[in-house]
Chain A
Amino acid sequence: MLQLALRTLRFRTGTFVAAFVAMFFAAIVLMACGGLIETGIRAAVPPQQLGSADVVVAGDQTYRAPGGDADEPAILPERVRVDAELERAIAALPGVRDTETYVFEGTAPAGTVDAIGVVAEPGADVAALRTRIDAELDGATSTLVGDERGRAELRGATASSVNVVSLAGVFTAFALLVSIFGVASMLGLSIAQRQKELALLRAIGATPRQVRRLIFRETLVLALVATAAAYLPGQFLGRLVFDLLAQQGIATAGVAFHQGWIPSVAATVVAILAALGGALGAGRRAARTRPSQALSEASLDDRLISGWRFLAGLLFVAAGVALTIVTVTALSGPLAPATAAPAVIVLTIGLALLAPVLAKVMILLIQWPVRALGGLTGDLAVLNARGRTSRLAAVLGPVILLTGVSTGMLYLQTTNDAADKEAYAAGIVADAVVTADGGADPLLVEEIGRLPGVAGASAYVSSVGFVENPDDVSPMGEGWNLQGVTAQSAGATTPVDVTAGTLTDLRGATVAIEDEHAGRLGVDVGDTITLRMGDSTLLDVGVAALFSAAEDYDTLLLPAETLADHTTAGRPTRVLVTAQDGTDPEQLVATLTELAAGRDGLTVADREILFDEYEDQKKTASYAIYIMVLMLVGYSAITTINTLVSSTSARQREFGLQRLVGSTRRQVLEMVGVEAAIVAVTGVVLGTAAALGILVPLSLDRLGSLLPVGPPLAYVAIVGLVVLLTLGATLLPAWRATRGRPAEAAVSVE
């Protein structure tokens, strides 16, 4: 059987080109993701200033939040400083020749530094030294060696590396599903084309098991070659994507791209398993070939859909619906994307699996207009589409996938961005923003507050923190927003309604907290809670007030000075100013500009400056999603072209026969064109339906609108691309297949 498999691959290469291309690109995507994951996990940052140190002691920027993902620790937003006293203790350890302290960001509070570089005695065992140093450290400090050392300088590297790992992880899963599906549909097609050959094998004594094994071995050989060929392009793509991510600030520029043998081997194994997974269904279909088919002409497909495929399709759709329900009901606000993205993929694959059934329904619906407009060629096209459901389903699957995934992922992102921005905007109450480079001290805030037309002026600090005591789970385990405010004007500059206590009590170590959240924690005004601040220090704060706010207002309010002490900057630099009723915001900005004119380092802007900064931050994250979506779309586009080209090229004989009975070449091409249009319309409708299945509930939930937010042109472009691809990938091969004389084509044996 292996010999037959090898000889089939060798002499009928053409039949397998499409499946090979599908496997090849799937392997490239998987390899690239593997490289990104390794790069992210290593987070190797060659050190600059710390180059002379053998071991670097620096703050641990990760925090394992209760309720968070253990593999994906939360990243602390502020520089975690190191106790300067540690230097003396470390210097006293055996094997230490010299120590030096470093401060990389801002001014470190007295008694702290950013990192301690430790130079080992010549010949000392660095690993043993590291262990000795580790014994001196508390939980918030860690040691770094080798290429890790640079992380102490480039603090963002840790955070961005976690992002890269989780992004690449998610896309590995997606790429896997898409590639199993792509390979399965390609193999299905090539088996449909070889039906006579398989029937002959069955007639002369191959058992169904032997036929299945034949398909498996062919696939295995093909997958081995495809993944081997994908090795270098995969590395190249991984590096390219990483560089793009670094350019956009998602990955940190100083981090070195790494693709060792482990992710390559893992990606190879996964790609081969995906191909074999795809061969499962195809092999089963091949094994079902009836031996008597060797005697008869190729018959029309008699079976609409196999039980397995139907079941799998229903399961995927059910899973997609379940994820949608979870998205809308259980997870609210910014959490929604976590389940919405998988929902898109799962729902789309479900519909693609059910394509044979859905195609039948769609054809019933659109046959009347097609027949009315297309005349005889329309008639023929409808008959072809109806008579060859499995061929139709094979070409329809990738089209549905392409439309569904690209539309779904794209608008998911834009809708969520819009909703996030709306939530952010709702959380900021300000008509003007004063930025003080030298720090916004309370006197300045007070001075601004006394200006004419000003309703309130509050210092503004933002960070992220966690509630450690009582036990608490923050949104996605990524912490609560902490906002620093000035007590007397907090009411005028935050969107909250105080329900107990008063915001003017926000002085010293105090906090104001949303009342339902307080209820879950079981605390009330006057109680004390313990916060893990953004710089990893613990802070006991008294609850000064409870408030109610919009559902997605995930913010705790603290006194600006208290919070600023736990930020990298160390002091507030912004003042939010609201205008009195009847005062024009522009007038307010003018008044403030007048004040700023006389001082150094004061600038005035309207509230848009905050939104712009927020969007800048968001943009980088969205960009990462777009790159990954682009990779997936590229892959499904290739699968689509692949499937259509090989399906059309295989019909050479049929086209020849049709021309022999009197069709002109033009009529044949017209018929094929109408068929392609049926595929495109059906695929776009079903793909869009899959995408809307999640987009509509999500935008209802997050924005209260039926339609997702996003540039409508993007959808037009996607549909245009799909139609163009479908028509092009069908008509070009049809044009080529009808180039010869019809009599030759009609007798050409497969």
Chain B
Amino acid sequence: MFTGTGVATDAVQLTAVRKVYGRRGNEVVALDDVTTAFGRGTFTAIMGPSGSGKSTLLQCAAGLDQPTSGSVVLEDSELSTMSETELTELRRDRVGFVFQAFNLLPVLTVEQNVTLPLRLAGRSPARGRVANVLEQVGLAERRRHRPAELSGGQQQRVAIARALITEPAVIFADEPTGALDTRTARDVLALMRSSVQQTGQTIVMVTHDPVAASYADRVLFLADGRVVGELHSPTADAVAERMTRLGAYSDEARRAPAAGGQR
């Protein structure tokens, strides 16, 4: 899939992406002219108040949803012109997902869940690969268990293993620690962090939690469907402080609608 002919240095590149929901007369602008990029081997957190467009951004970048206008390039593939089946195949090969909850098919074992994307693609996992990945997430002992027999944190680690198995260009995580206690959450985040550092995995994560965001290289702030700022090498405190200003900032923006949110 990845030919290497392009000199793309970004895993995902979004240009002037706009997404509008609803019918005419009742439109909601979820994304308003968003341009950004996620570099290879980086860990980006997307933050913002509820309704700021975080999830929509993630869905458009991951090929789960099509933007109303604008361009999304994943490695060297333009997503906005692809058919649903092409998008599915691209997701299968180049994208990994970790959701907040209900990540696993309850009827399949850990091992079967992890290998599912490969089997959907009609491939079988390379020898030792599954064991390696399960080793990496610390669940080598649990491969024959079903999700109901695992804790929440273990389930999220299975989901990460499933995302890693295809060696995707990018993993998208939507509130991966939202349903976990703080200790378990820290383990899961550390696991994601280490896969970026050790194997050069690209991860994009949507989160509410400043502590979770502090594990990322970069934090992208969204408000009212626009990118309103970013932080590099964030600390939890800096992120939290920025979040409080984000609320006040958006209040001001509403009072003076002519002013843009670009910074």
Contact = CB atoms under 8 A, between A and B. Distances in A.
A295 B85 contact: no
A208 B85 contact: yes
Nearest to B175: A295
B91 interface: yes
A11 B55 contact: no
Interface string B100-130: 1111111110001000110011000000000
A197 B64 CA distance: 15
Contact of B85 (A7, A10, A204, A207): A207
A733 B84 CA distance: 39
Given A204-B116, A210-B120, A295-B64, A4 B88 contact: no
Contacts of B88: 202, 205-208, 291
Interface residues of A, number: 27
Interface in A204-228: 204-210
B146 A11 contact: yes
B89 interface: yes
A707 interface: no
Nearest to B103: A200
B85 A203 contact: no
A196 interface: yes
A292 B65 contact: yes
B97 interface: yes
Contacts of B101: 749
Given A4-B108, A8-B107, A210-B120, A203 B64 contact: yes
Interface string A7-43: 1101110000000000000000000000000000000
B162 A208 contact: no
A3 interface: yes
Given A292-B65, A295-B59, A295-B64, A203 B91 contact: yes
A217 to B, nearest CB: 14
Given A208-B85, A294-B99, A201 B105 contact: yes
B224 interface: no
Contacts of A210: 120
B102 A196 contact: yes
Nearest to A197: B105
Contacts of B92: 204-206
Nearest to B59: A292
A293 to B, nearest CB: 9
User: What interface size band does chain B fall in?
Assistant: 20 to 34
A204 B120 contact: yes
A367 to B, nearest CB: 23
A749 B102 contact: yes
A17 to B, nearest CB: 16
A3 B91 contact: no
A200 B91 CA distance: 12
Interface string A186-205: 00000000001100111111
A292 B60 CA distance: 10
B75 interface: no
B107 A204 contact: no
A296 B174 CA distance: 10
A629 to B, nearest CB: 41
Contacts of B146: 11
A206 B105 CA distance: 13
B106 A205 contact: no
A210 B146 CA distance: 23
A65 B124 CA distance: 66
Contact of B106 (A12, A201, A295): A12
Given A8-B107, A11-B146, A295-B174, A204 B102 contact: no
A694 to B, nearest CB: 41
A203 B174 CA distance: 13
Contact of A11 (B64, B106, B117, B162): B106
B59 A11 contact: no
Nearest to A12: B107
Interface string A92-111: 00000000000000000000
Contacts, number: 81
Contact of A7 (B64, B84, B108): B108
Given A292-B65, A295-B59, A207 B105 contact: no
A207 B86 CA distance: 9
A204 B117 contact: yes
A7 B120 contact: no
Contacts of A8: 105, 107
Nearest to A8: B107
A205 B117 CA distance: 6
B64 A291 contact: yes
Contacts of A204: 91-92, 97, 116-117, 120, 162
Nearest to A198: B105
Nearest to B55: A295
A206 B118 CA distance: 10
B261 to A, nearest CB: 25
A133 to B, nearest CB: 66
Contacts of A7: 107-108, 112
Interface in B64-92: 64-65, 84-85, 88-89, 91-92
Nearest to A291: B64
B28 to A, nearest CB: 14
A203 B93 CA distance: 12
B101 to A, nearest CB: 8
Contacts of B174: 295
Interface in A277-292: 290-292
Contacts of B99: 200, 203, 294-295
Contacts of B100: 295
Contacts of A3: 112
B97 A203 contact: yes
B88 to A, nearest CB: 5
A319 B232 CA distance: 69
Best-buried of B106, B117, B146 by chain A (most CB within 10 Å): B106
B4 to A, nearest CB: 23
Nearest to A10: B107
A206 B174 CA distance: 19
A200 B88 CA distance: 12
A635 B83 CA distance: 43
A296 B99 CA distance: 10
B120 A206 contact: yes
A313 to B, nearest CB: 25
A205 B119 CA distance: 10
A12 B148 CA distance: 13
Given A7-B108, A11-B146, A294 B102 contact: yes
Nearest to A201: B105
A209 B121 CA distance: 12
Nearest to A6: B107
A300 to B, nearest CB: 14
B105 A205 contact: no
Contacts of B117: 204-205
Contacts of A4: 105, 107-108, 116
B85 to A, nearest CB: 5
Nearest to A203: B97
Best-buried of A7, A201, A203, A210 by chain B (most CB within 10 Å): A203
A205 B85 CA distance: 9
A194 to B, nearest CB: 10
A207 B82 CA distance: 14
Nearest to B91: A205
A202 B84 CA distance: 10
Contacts of B120: 201, 204-207, 210
19 contacts: A4-B108, A11-B106, A11-B107, A196-B102, A200-B104, A201-B120, A202-B88, A203-B64, A204-B116, A205-B88, A205-B89, A205-B93, A207-B85, A208-B84, A210-B120, A290-B65, A292-B65, A295-B64, A295-B100
Interface of B: 55, 58-59, 64-65, 84-85, 88-89, 91-93, 97, 99-108, 112, 116-117, 120-121, 146, 162, 174
Given A12-B106, A209-B85, 10 more contacts: A3-B112, A8-B107, A11-B107, A11-B146, A200-B105, A202-B88, A204-B162, A207-B120, A291-B88, A291-B91
In the A-B complex, the 4 residue pairs with the smallest Cβ-Cβ separation, listed nearest first, are A205-B92, A11-B107, A7-B107, A292-B64
